[in-house]
Amino acid sequence: MNAKTESVIDLIRPDAAPIPAPGTRLPPLIRAEGLQLQFDRGAIRALDGLDFHVDRTEFVAVVGPSGCGKSSLLSLIGMLEAPTSGRLFMDDQPYAEVADPAAFRRRHFGFVFQSFHLIPTLTALENVLLPTTGTRERRRDSRARALQLLATLGLDKRAGHFPPQMSGGERQRVAIARALVNEPDVIVADEPTGSLDSVAARHVLDSLEAIRATTRITVVMVTHDAEVSARADRIVHLRDGRLDTSREHAA
C-alpha cells in the first residue's frame, strides 16, 4: 500500500474499522422489502415487489434488459425517489423515518452517472467540491480532501482544468472524486463506463477498485457491460421489475 492510498483512506473514512475478513457475515447495509415503483397511476411498474440487499463493503452489479427497473432501483437506493410502496433500510433504519432526506443522502451516498454531470464552467477541483457546499466542514479541509482524491485518481495536474479540456475518462474520474468527497458509505453508479472507450473504462474501474479495496465503501452499479459486471463481487439480474433469482451469482 503506497502513501497516496493510505492518505485517501484517512480522508474518505477516517473512522473506518478494518474491512471484515472474507467469509465474515454482517447484517446488510441496505435492505429492500417489497419495493414497488409505479407511474401513470399504476399502468407502468418500474419495480414490482422487489426484495434486495447489499452487504457492507460489497460491490454489486445490477444487470438486465432495458426497461427492467435497474436505474429505478438505484434512484430508490440513493433516495432520489420514494417508492410507491415497500420499505428500504440502511443499517436497519427505515428510509421513511429519516427526518432530513437531503442531508441523509448527502452524508451516506455518492453518485456517479454515465454523462458525468460536471459543470463545464467550473474546474475539476470546483466540481469535486460541489457536494460540500452548505456543509459545516471548514472549506480548507474539504479542499485538502478534494485535492488528495484527485491526486489518488491520477488527476493532480488537472485540478485547475475545465471539463471541456479533459478526456471522457478524466471527467468520469473527477465525477468519482466528487462522489467520494463527502465520505459516503455507498457509491451509486449508473452506467459509469457507458460513454467511455475500453481503455478509459478500464482506467476508471481500476481507480474505483483501488479505493474500494482499501476502504469501507460499498458500490452498487448498474451496467450493461459484461466485462464491467465481472469486476463485481455479486451480479444481480433484474427482469420486469423483479429479481431474477435463478441467475443471481457471485462474479
pLDDT (tens digit per residue) in 39-82: 877 667 889 899 999 999 999 999 998 888 899 999 999 999 99
Q: Tell me what the pLDDT averaged over the chain comes to.
A: 86
pLDDT of residue 174: 95
> Is 213 or 66 the better-scoring residue by pLDDT?
66
For the whole prediction, is pTM greater than 0.75? yes
Which of the four pLDDT bands, split at 50, 70 and 90, describes residue 212?
A: confident
Which of the four pLDDT bands, split at 50, 70 and 90, describes residue 246?
A: low
- Give yes or no for a contact between 75 and 189, defined as CB atoms under 8 angstroms apart: no
pLDDT tens string 178-210: 999 988 999 999 999 988 999 999 988 998 888
In CATH, what number does 3-12+56-79+100-250 get?
3.40.50.300
Geometric angle at alpha carbon 142, from 139 and 146, rounded to 5°: 135
pLDDT tens string 141-170: 889 999 999 998 999 999 999 999 999 999
pLDDT tens string 135-147: 666 778 889 999 9
CA distances from 4 to 23, 147, 184 (A): 28, 11, 19
Pairing of strands 218-222, 234-239: unpaired
| Annotated domain spans of the chain | 3-12+56-79+100-250
Which of the four pLDDT bands, split at 50, 70 and 90, describes residue 9?
A: very low
- Give yes or no for a contact between 141 and 14, defined as CB atoms under 8 angstroms apart: no
pLDDT of residue 147: 95
pLDDT of residue 243: 87
Angle between helices 198-212 and 139-152 (to 10 degrees): 120
Nearest to 18 by CA among 54, 60, 61, 56: 56
| Segment 88-96 long-range contacts (CB within 8 Å, at least 24 positions apart) | 88/30, 88/31, 88/32, 88/33, 88/35, 89/30, 89/31, 89/32, 89/33, 90/29, 90/30, 90/185, 91/27, 91/29, 92/27, 92/31
- For residue 131, pLDDT over 70 is answered with yes
pLDDT of residue 141: 87
